[in-house]
Structure 1
Amino acid sequence: MDGNDTESTVMLVDDTAANRYALGALLSRAGHSVIPVASAGEALVELDERLRAGVLPDLALVDVGLPDMNGFELCRRLKAQPPTAALPVVHFSAVSAGPADRCRGLDAGGEAYLAVPAEPEEIQAVVRAAVRAARMRTGAETLVRRLTLLSETIASVQTARCMRELADAAAEGTARLTGSPAAVFVLAEDGELYRGMSRNRVRAALPDRGAHEAVARLIRHATAGHTGVRRTVVPAPLWPGGFFRPGVSEDARLVLARTQDGRTPVCLATPARADRDAAPEADTLVARLARATALAAEPLLMYQAERHVALTLQHSFLPQELPAMPGVELVVRYVPASRQAEIGGDFYAALRTSAGVLTAVGDVVGHSLEAATVMVEIRHALRAYCVEDCDPGVLARRLDRMLQEYHPDATATVCVALVDPASGRARIANAGHLPPLIVGDDGTADYVEAHGPLLGLGLDRPPPTEVALAPTDRLLMVTDGLIETRGTDLEVSLEQLRTAGAAAPPGTAALCDTLLDCFGRDREDDIALLALRLG
């Protein structure tokens, strides 16, 4: 209901033709459009048709003494229905104008009550006031809805787990704020362009790589030397077509944001033609969203860079091939978490020693580049320490002291096993890690009773557990990323792992692959598995 309140649409409900004519003429001369109806029933039918067309009148001027339903009851019906509840109603009457009748009109939900005949100026003033109040109320409600939408969108942007989620959330919020298709672009420092599209864009092929490169050039040019928020319109010949409507070239309205110290520009783009239809406050709200998107993109891009470094570090130090171990078959599997998850400190190791084969699987507590760095140090320390003494209990104690000395704020879990291929004797020390699982080819699977405190706490440790492995036994060691699930008790997950291991086909590789197929899809943490069998 935009526009001047002297140029509104008034539905006039009166069963007397002469009154409809007189009041209608008065309102028309004042610049209002008049919809005359003769009864409450006609008024309801007229409003229903206008609701379907999406255009309600700005005000209903209702006679109290209608033949089929009095004006108070008609008002109550209108106010009880959400689609018409905001329609202002002014009652009028030539016979019922006492205080009691005025109170009945207000109690029914009416905005005002007129006693007719009245001076034309009074009638016009009451109509103007009712329309103006309704428009102010509707405008305030609309602004509240838009501010709520902005708040919800900013929350989605700030909690995005990757750049694609961030750009899509910002694009959807921009589209809802402006009522038009929207595209959002984030230009990383390395030149990579991240793009998000609103859902109200027609789903079809997106512009090609050349179009995206043109957008990146425009963003660089428009933000060079500038911080804060800027607005500009790019004419169709310069803005690649197809981002808003497939195959259509049109002017683009860009809202660009760059943080004060940031190097990552953000661009919220909508069709320029939508400006004339957008609410006046939409431009300000989109500018706020652009600023919030730029602020959220900076740490997310920094995290992506850190994660890439951490993954590179992990992959470079985890052995790509296991050393040949006479009398032992070894299989390892390592699966990094999904791209949306943080990097962890999972590791595995397999080393030849004078007393047999030393295997270890562990996890540094935390998710960061530091956790990956500590993981590398533990692997190197384990390899160095086992040259002098390869007993798992001794190694666990020495690793514990190393963390206390050089990384006092870090803790880690590790399970270390020393296996003698000749006898099948295995000594196992566990420091807060999942216990190893011994899986037989006969469909049995049992956990080794090996427990102990985390590394880095300086607590007393129990002696290693000794078990004897049969030639058909497979010793399985895993990190908790394989089975740990939010909301599921760890004991339940361990039992599910034991059951799946017992049902796995023979062979160490088959065991690892079966468990990864059962548990390892879209995990929130890294996964390391190591399986050993004598033979």
Structure 2
Amino acid sequence: MDGGPATVLVVDDSRPKRYLLVSWLTRAGFATIEAENGAEALDRVEKDRIDLVVLDVRLPDVSGFEVCERIKEAHPAIPVIHVSAHAVDVVDRAQGLTRGADAYLAEPIEPEELVATAHAVLRYYQARQRAEQLAERLAALADATLEMHAASNFARLLEVAAAGAARIFRSPAAVIAETFDGDCLAGVAAGPDAPAGVVPWVVDDTGVPIGTTVRVDEPGNWGLVDWPADDTVTVGAARLREDRAPLYVVVPTATQTVRTPVLVQLAQATASAVEAQRSFDEEHRIAVTLQRSLLPQRLPEIAGLDLAVRYEPASARTEVGGDFYELVMLDGHLLMAVGDVAGHSLHAATVMAELRHAVRAYAVEGHQPGVILDRVNELMRTLLPNEQATLCLLLLHPGSGLVRLASAGHLPALISRAGRVEFVQHSAPLLGVRAPRPPDLEFVLPAGSTLVLYTDGLIERRDATIDDGLAALAVVAGRVDDDLDRFCERLLVELAPTEIHDDVAVVAVRRR
């Protein structure tokens, strides 16, 4: 009805009787449409917006009972009132109500009785429609809330929120929020079935209070989509804290009901998801900054050796990890190491920093790789008893190519030469565990060979075994680019997933 008069379809083959019914209903404020037989009535229901049908029981082509049944099958939300001057006994009335009619009036009918019955039936159906619409919108709101909290990043969150709002209200929708960096973005959807997108947008937040507010505004102030003509927009604004910019959900006003409960809940749910995303982005930024600040700022320049490193923190939707690497010259030898602290959190990044500094300190004292691991292990068991980590480190003499390597539960180093790939296996318990360790492994890195250390984020997949990952690495590493930086980049591009769920560190050294 959309706030206008209800439209009543009057179906009767008697023109005088139809005239009377139409006159009574029109004087009562209803809009009316007429049909003189069952076929025409069914056609009208399909083509016109009908709120109520007043239907004679006896029609020239098909019975009113059958017409009622067919209307209810196709449009169960359209109420039907039977009227009859002939089928007036209890059996007829019972049959009419049993086959779908909402009321049954036997002639003679008084105008007041017809109008009162029409109003009563419409009140019930309007209440039912509102309840069904609310239930449908709340279900869609629940789905949208889950999708928002599962969004992989801020832009995706806004896309999901705008698409969810468009589905909830069956209309265009826009959701505007400020990122952790202070950029204002808008997620927009032109309709419930249209793809959502994100565009920059600027909003004047002056005077928006803490809490959730709703206001009606001009569509021109929110020119993000083509809003319906001859309508305003309703803006739900949610502001959780004084130091946070508000979030806005914008939809056509015609979609809203009294007190706009679903719009308010959608704005609150979206603001909660945005706040969680902002907090995550803030923690992730701190952790990534910490990781990068604790890693080597530059690579040493060593005659006869090419060095390259690639380090990629986990994608924005996952917590940071504790991967680290080391490349430094000590007493004529290159110390090369890669490690991975168990867990993914800001705490893992701080543990990583402690281990890296311990490795450097023990290496400066002149210890061999195996001794360094033993001392780091004792340090962990004493000061960090609940932590575990893997580590592979080696000392390389640039002139002779002599390598002395020790590992603590880490993935095997890789040597690539002339298209052939070999994994350097050195099985040993990881750090944080009291267990005997094997002696250091010694070998010579031939001239022209490239040695690669890496962390598990490069090769581990949820849908594949570790052996599959190592096999894939062997294939990709069979060709080493002239530019060693390009080689490390290619390893990440061809092996790491688009959405990196774990930190990735790759360290490569080539002996010229």
TM bucket (normalised to shorter chain) is: 0.7 to 0.9
1:95-124: CA deviation from partner (whole Å, max 9, x where unpaired): 334444444333433323333333444333
Shift of 1:465: 4.1
Instruction: Show the 5 A alignment for 1:497-512.
Output: 497-505=473-481, 508-512=484-488
Decide whether aligned partners of structure 1 residues 80 and 240 sit closer, same or farther in structure 2, where only a CA change above 3 A counts.
closer
1:254–1:267: 8 Å Cα contact kept in structure 2?
no
**Percent of pairs with identical residues:** 37
Instruction: Describe the shift of the 1:451–1:71 C-alpha distance in structure 2 as closer, same or farther (beyond 3 A).
Output: farther
Matched, 1:68 2:61: yes
Match of 1:386 in 2: 363
> Using the alignment, how far apart are the partners of 1:306 and 1:284 within structure 2?
33
Give the number of equivalent residue pairs.
506
Report the alpha carbon displacement of residue 127 of structure 1 after superposing the two structures with TM. 2.4
Segment drifting more, 133-142 vs 359-368? 359-368
1:88-487 equivalence runs, <5 A: 88-175=79-166, 181-187=172-178, 192-200=182-190, 212=202, 215=203, 218-219=204-205, 221-223=206-208, 226-232=209-215, 242-243=223-224, 254-259=235-240, 263-268=243-248, 270=250, 274-275=252-253, 277-281=254-258, 283-354=260-331, 356-441=333-418, 443-487=419-463
Any conservation in 2 of the 1:256–1:265 contact (CA below 8 Å)?
no
Give the conservation status (yes or no) of the 8 Å contact 1:233–1:252: yes
The runs of 5 or more residues in structure 1 that have no matched partner are: 51-55
Q: For residues 251 and 340 of structure 1, what CA distance do their matches in structure 2 show?
A: 37
CA distance in 2, matches of 1:93, 1:253: 47
Q: Which residue of 2 aligns with 1:12?
A: 10
Q: Does 1:57 align with 2:38?
A: no
1:111 & 1:253 partners in 2: Cα distance? 36
Provide the C-alpha distance between the structure 2 equivalents of 1:222 and 1:454, rounded to a whole number of angstroms: 58
**Amino acid paired to 1:264:** R
1:230-252 Cα offsets, whole Å, 9 max, x none, are 3456779xx96644559x9x987
Q: How far apart, in 2, do the equivalents of 1:527 and 1:18 lie?
A: 85
Q: CA deviation at 1:416?
A: 1.7
* Separation (CA, whole Å) in 1 of partners of 2:58 and 2:381: 90
TM-score normalised over the length of structure 1: 0.83
Structure 1 residues 140 and 252 mapped into 2: Cα distance closer, same or farther (>3 Å)?
closer
Q: Cα 1:426–1:103, aligned 2, differ >3 Å: closer, same or farther? A: farther
Which letter does structure 2 place at the counterpart of 1:484? E
CA distance in 1, matches of 2:198, 2:426: 56
Distance in 1 between residues matched to 2:440 and 2:87, nearest whole Å: 98
Change (3 A) 1:35 1:330: same
Equivalent residue number for residue 71 of structure 2 = 78
Verify: 1:488 aligned to 2:469, yes or no: no
Is residue 174–residue 189 contact of structure 2 (8 Å, CA) maintained in 1?
no
2: distance between equivalents of 1:233 and 1:57? 30
Q: Please report how far the alpha carbon of residue 178 of structure 1 lies from its aligned counterpart in structure 2 after TM superposition.
A: 5.5
Conservation of the 8 A alpha-carbon contact between 1:334 and 1:527? yes
RMSD (Å) for aligned C-alpha atoms: 3.4
Distance 1:458 1:449 in 2: 21
Aligned-partner residue type, residue 459 of structure 2? I
Query: Whole-Å Cα distance in 2 between the matches of residues 423 and 392 of structure 1?
Result: 18
Contact map agreement 1:350 1:357 (CA 8 A) in 2: yes
SS in 2 for 1:198: strand
4+ aligned runs moved over 6 Å, structure 1: 205-208
Alignment gaps of 5+ in structure 2: none
- Give me the whole-angstrom Cα distance separating, in 2, the residues matched to 1:484 and 1:106: 67
Letter in 1 for 2:257: P
Distance (whole Å) between structure 2 residues aligned to residue 476 and residue 419 of structure 1: 13
Amino acid of the residue matched to residue 426 of structure 1?
V
Check 1:390–1:66 CA distance in 2 against 1; reply closer, same or farther (3 A cut): farther
CA shift for structure 1 position 507? 6.5
Q: Is the 8 A contact 1:187 1:194 kept in 2?
A: yes
Does the 8 A contact of 1:266 with 1:293 survive in 2? no
Offset from partner CA, 1:252-289 (integer Å, 9 cap, x none): 75433332x56213231537xx43x2322463322223
In structure 1, give the amino acid aligned to 2:212.
Answer: V
Once residues 178 and 287 of structure 1 are traced to their aligned partners in structure 2, the CA distance between those partners, rounded to angstroms, is 13
Equivalent position SS for 1:222: coil
Q: Deviations over 1:373-426 (max 9, x none)?
A: 222222111111112354332222322222333333333222223334455443
